[in-house]
Amino acid sequence: MSQANALDNVISFFNPEAGAKRARARLTLDQARRYEGAAGGRRNEGWRTPSTSADAALGPSLQRLRDRSRDLTRNNPFAARAVQVLVNNTVGGGVLGQVNSKSRSRAQRFNQAWETWARNPENCDHDGRSDFWGLQALVFRTVVEAGECLIRKRIDPTSQFPLKLQVLEPDFIDDTRADGLTTDGGYIRQGIEYNTRDQRIAYHLHRQHPGDRVLSIHKYETVRVPADEIISVYRRDRPGQGRGVPWGAPVVSRLRDFDDFSDAQLLKQKISACFTGFVIDSESQDTGGAPPLAESLEPGSIEILPAGKDVRFASPPSVGEFDSFSRAMLLQIAAGYGVTYEALTSDLSNANYSAARMGHLEFSRNVDCWQKQILVSQMLGPVWGWFKQAAEIVGDQPGDVRMQWTPARRELIDPQKEVGAIIEAVRGGLMSLSEAIRRSGYEPGEVMAEIARDAAMLDELGLILDTDPRNVTAAGMLQMEPTQETETNE
Q: Pick the residue with more confidence: 447 or 166? A: 166
Residue 391, SS3 per DSSP: helix
Using pLDDT thresholds of 50, 70 and 90, give the confidence band for residue 19.
confident
Using pLDDT thresholds of 50, 70 and 90, give the confidence band for residue 290.
low
Residue 97, SS3 per DSSP: strand
pLDDT score recorded for residue 233: 97
Using pLDDT thresholds of 50, 70 and 90, give the confidence band for residue 297.
low
Q: Pick the residue with more confidence: 70 or 416? A: 70
Q: Span 387-411, mean pLDDT?
A: 87
What type of residue is 110? F
CA-nearest of 119, 80, 9 to 255 is 80
* Alpha carbon distance 92, 324 (integer Å): 32
pLDDT score recorded for residue 385: 95
Q: Is the pLDDT of residue 28 over 70?
A: yes
Using pLDDT thresholds of 50, 70 and 90, give the confidence band for residue 472.
confident
Q: Is the pLDDT of residue 474 over 50?
A: yes
* Alpha carbon distance 58, 244 (integer Å): 9
Q: Provide the sign of the torsion angle of the four alpha carbons 416, 417, 418, 423, taken in this order.
A: positive
pLDDT score recorded for residue 490: 47
* Alpha carbon distance 247, 340 (integer Å): 15
Q: What is the number of alpha carbons within 13 Å of residue 25 lying toward its C-beta? A: 8
Q: Is the pLDDT of residue 247 over 50?
A: yes
**Among 89-103, 294-308, 389-403, where is mean pLDDT lowest?**
294-308
pLDDT score recorded for residue 482: 59
Beta carbons within 8 Å of 166's beta carbon, 6+ residues apart? 126, 127, 151, 152, 153, 154
Q: Is the pLDDT of residue 298 over 90?
A: no
Q: Span 176-188, mean pLDDT?
A: 86
> What one-character-per-residue DSSP string does 215-239 give?
--TTTT-EEEEEGGGEEEEE---ST
pLDDT score recorded for residue 354: 80
Q: Pick the residue with more confidence: 93 or 303? A: 93
Q: Is the pLDDT of residue 212 over 60?
A: yes
For residue 28, CA distances in Å to 10, 21, 117, 163 come to 21, 11, 70, 68
Q: Span 259-264, mean pLDDT?
A: 90
For residue 259, CA distances in Å to 263, 267, 330, 484 come to 6, 12, 11, 76
Produce one character per residue of 311-332: b if its CB has 16 or more CB atoms within 10 Å, e if not. eeeeeeeeeeeeeeebeebbee
Q: Is the pLDDT of residue 231 over 90?
A: yes
**Among 25-29, 52-56, 82-86, 391-395, where is mean pLDDT lowest?**
25-29
pLDDT score recorded for residue 165: 97
* Alpha carbon distance 490, 240 (integer Å): 78
Q: What percent of the chain has pLDDT over 90?
A: 43
pLDDT score recorded for residue 415: 80
Pairing state between β 96-100 and 222-226: unpaired
pLDDT score recorded for residue 292: 63
Q: Is the pLDDT of residue 437 over 50?
A: yes
How many other C-beta atoms lie within 10 A of the C-beta of residue 471?
15
Average pLDDT, the chain: 85
pTM of the entire structure?
0.79
Q: Is 475 exposed, middle or buried (0-12, 13-18, 19+ CB in 10 A)?
A: exposed
CA-nearest of 448, 416, 413 to 432 is 448
The DSSP bridge partners found for residue 99 are 403
Using pLDDT thresholds of 50, 70 and 90, give the confidence band for residue 30.
low
Using pLDDT thresholds of 50, 70 and 90, give the confidence band for residue 294.
low
* Alpha carbon distance 437, 447 (integer Å): 8
Q: Provide the sign of the torsion angle of the four alpha carbons 174, 179, 184, 186, taken in this order.
A: positive
Q: Is the pLDDT of residue 125 over 80?
A: yes
Using pLDDT thresholds of 50, 70 and 90, give the confidence band for residue 403.
very high
Produce one character per residue of 140-166: b if its CB has 16 or more CB atoms within 10 Å, e if not. bbbbbbbbbbbbbbeeeeebebbbbbe
> What one-character-per-residue DSSP string does 139-207 give?
HHHHHHHHSEEEEEEEE-TTSSS-EEEEEE-GGGB-TTSPPEE-TTS-EEETTEEE-TTS-EEEEEEES
Q: Is 273 exposed, middle or buried (0-12, 13-18, 19+ CB in 10 A)?
A: exposed
Q: Is the pLDDT of residue 61 over 60?
A: yes
**Among 1-10, 76-85, 300-309, 314-323, where is mean pLDDT lowest?**
300-309
Q: Pick the residue with more confidence: 468 or 170? A: 170
pLDDT score recorded for residue 132: 96
Q: Is the pLDDT of residue 76 over 80?
A: yes
pLDDT score recorded for residue 248: 95
Q: Is 62 exposed, middle or buried (0-12, 13-18, 19+ CB in 10 A)?
A: buried
pLDDT score recorded for residue 152: 97
What type of residue is 318? S
